[in-house]
Structure 1
């Protein structure tokens, strides 16, 4: 039944998804597969990238691919490994399998996969636990980011495991609680699921009812021309995480030409004390893709390809800055 509903949900996006089996396989000297990270209830694969001379109390970034991708493709397009080699942090790449999802999407709309201690989300936590047990990773320096289905799964992990992640970046994703079944999944992708900030906050609170600590700060990226996951979801994500952090709905600052780029608008949401907790980027003219800027400059990187477009703006760089990795 799980596979059947997945096939139906993805029917609208099959034409735009490149088959994951055509994506490259990680080279043995670059990324290594982890096979013994736990009982793996979500039946996912795991890959790690460890730069030479990983420092003590290093940071860990969890990177979740989108539909039609795998870990290697995500690493190549985003440039996370190159940045990790420069700055000395580890990268973990959970990877979906076709036996779970015909298009290799994380099952962000299946309740059994996005609730704490269950399914795919639990498998990802087991991967993080493996990294903490086997390498000198700082428990308070664990971050995550994802694209599309990986972005939606990032939302779920931030809500269900706020005690694990210090910050997250959602690219072309949807809020947690937007869908727990097939019909709602379609509606969320089309931008038809809108809730009050209070309702979005309640969804996060219900993901881990006994939790009383701080929640991850959030960064949101969305292209205005996204025909797969409607850009209304960026507004809903800002409402959700703004409510969680009590920033209010009105941005404290808006930069309409961020970093000199007229296509990029940056909105900053701050707590009462002035600390920035939620950041949103609206990227004019970008479709269902990650923003990259290939080149050798300090703020450049990534590669173009399926779901990655050169818009003179390198999302990975700004995510890393938001995480405090640079």
Structure 2
């Protein structure tokens, strides 16, 4: 089949709801492999690649332009490690909502002593989503910052919390952390549907659900409304970019790890093209407004989401805003070299930050092997992301 025919067939399969088959067809095309002349066999799912799942390559680096920070406990491990999803879940095909009904994994990897990690559900006309909420032990009815973390494909809130160690750092800095859960009924691989037009708009689809979870927590707990943030990995990072574009009044800053800019895809075929080589020039989202402060992490050897996407996020966020640029280069001891670019506004405030991690692939940098899709060698993306978040807040109106 010619490439045009492949894309046409993949689009037909997508509209028919056969996402696995459409993805496999496009992945073969992008790899240059021969493709069948007939439509994909819907019965051969076991032989096909899963839809839009994240890869497992990544790396670590610690900056040298500021005082050294403590290395994650797993930095000494010489190789990146992938922790597979819960085997019972894989064997039984249980959905994420069912898994979350089990007793939570109250281990030191997820919940520090004295803290809580509770379950919640948000419902609206757009649907419903379960979520987990981390409440630090120091919460005494005083307003605290809130970080919303969007997991990658095949992951769960518990898995993402363990891999990023965000709860452990949130305990140090006295922050709430929310983890919305994407169930398999919404996407077979539990990916946020960042590539669908209906899920890229304010007040509709998944953005409205994520914003709804955020606001529900803000109503149920004392949250510092000027310090609410959203970040994610891969598909979750692409969803975080959408939240920054559509709800800039809600989130004071966003964090994007191995993600894509808002609007670079409108369906599954264009999503896979964007992942492979970067999408079309993304629409500038800031307009005349100051850009939403954004921190970006991307490995320059990411073969799942092309590094061009990190640059496109920067361009989309910046728009026509005039900035001053500073570039710092460093290396984590025993880890990867990196280039850290900081763009500051006229007042000298760093509003955009890009970490290009040399030799890194597609996984959470500096994460723990207790979770999936992590690279313990650094840099510590969690610490740097939270540091960046807490440097920004919505200005007084």
The aligned counterpart of 1:263 is: 337
The aligned counterpart of 1:51 is: 136
> Relative CO higher for 1 or 2, CA cutoff 8 Å, sep ≥ 6?
2
| TM-score normalised by structure 2 residue count | 0.70
Q: Check 1:16–1:133 CA distance in 2 against 1; reply closer, same or farther (3 A cut).
A: closer
**Does the aligned pair in 1 maintain the 2:118–2:132 contact within 8 Å?**
yes
The aligned counterpart of 1:170 is: 256
In the alignment, the residues of structure 2 paired with residue 224 and residue 190 of structure 1 have an alpha-carbon distance, to the nearest angstrom, of: 13
1:283 partnered with 2:357 = yes
In the alignment, the residues of structure 2 paired with residue 272 and residue 16 of structure 1 have an alpha-carbon distance, to the nearest angstrom, of: 38
**Does the aligned pair in 1 maintain the 2:54–2:152 contact within 8 Å?**
no
Q: CA deviation at 1:5?
A: 6.0
Structure 2 residue aligned with 1:77, among 163, 173, 180?
163
The aligned counterpart of 2:70 is: none
Larger radius of gyration: 2
In the alignment, the residues of structure 2 paired with residue 16 and residue 31 of structure 1 have an alpha-carbon distance, to the nearest angstrom, of: 26
How many corresponding residue pairs? 304
The aligned counterpart of 1:221 is: 297
The aligned counterpart of 1:299 is: none
SS at match of 2:124: coil
Greater Cα offset, 74-83 or 264-273 = 264-273
1:120-139 equivalence runs, <5 A: 120-139=206-225
CA distances 1:152-210 after superposition (whole Å, capped 9, x unpaired): 00000000000000000100000011012222211211124241xxx531xx259xxxx
Q: Check 1:43–1:3 CA distance in 2 against 1; reply closer, same or farther (3 A cut).
A: farther
**Does the aligned pair in 2 maintain the 1:112–1:118 contact within 8 Å?**
yes
**Does the aligned pair in 1 maintain the 2:54–2:362 contact within 8 Å?**
no
In the alignment, the residues of structure 2 paired with residue 155 and residue 125 of structure 1 have an alpha-carbon distance, to the nearest angstrom, of: 13
Structure 2 residue aligned with 1:187, among 258, 265, 273?
273
Gaps of 5+ in 2: 1-13, 28-48, 56-83, 91-95, 393-397
In the alignment, the residues of structure 2 paired with residue 150 and residue 3 of structure 1 have an alpha-carbon distance, to the nearest angstrom, of: 25
Q: CA deviation at 1:47?
A: 1.2
1:4 partnered with 2:4 = no
RMSD of aligned residue pairs (Cα, Å):
2.7
Gaps of 5+ in 1: 207-211, 294-301
1:321 partnered with 2:387 = yes
The aligned counterpart of 2:372 is: 306
**Does the aligned pair in 1 maintain the 2:332–2:378 contact within 8 Å?**
no
The aligned counterpart of 2:198 is: 112
In the alignment, the residues of structure 2 paired with residue 3 and residue 306 of structure 1 have an alpha-carbon distance, to the nearest angstrom, of: 31
